[in-house]
Amino acid sequence: MFTYRYSYRPAVWKRLLTRPGFAKAQAYVVEAPTPGHIRTLIVRAGAD
């Protein structure tokens, strides 16, 4: 579930970061500790 207007799925974040030149991009979702709560999206990008 995405709650904000500008939320993107992990695959979209990877694409948004690699297109302008980041060599590596990772994006994944961490489940909430309580079932039914909003999950956390983690995104990292680097030059090499």
Number of domains in the chain: 1
Asked if the structure places residue 26 within a domain, the reply is yes
- Residues 4-17: pLDDT tens digits? 666 789 999 999 99
Residue 39 lies in a domain: yes
Does 35 map to a domain? yes
Classify residue 2: in a domain, yes or no: no
Contacts of 22 (CB under 8 A, 6+ apart): 45, 46, 47
The residues, any chain, with a CB within 8 Å of residue 17's CB and separated by 6 or more, are: 25, 43, 45
pTM, entire model: 0.74
For 19-45, the pLDDT digits (tens) are: 999 999 999 999 999 998 888 899 999
Domain that holds residue 22: 10-46
Is residue 3 a part of any domain in this protein?
A: no
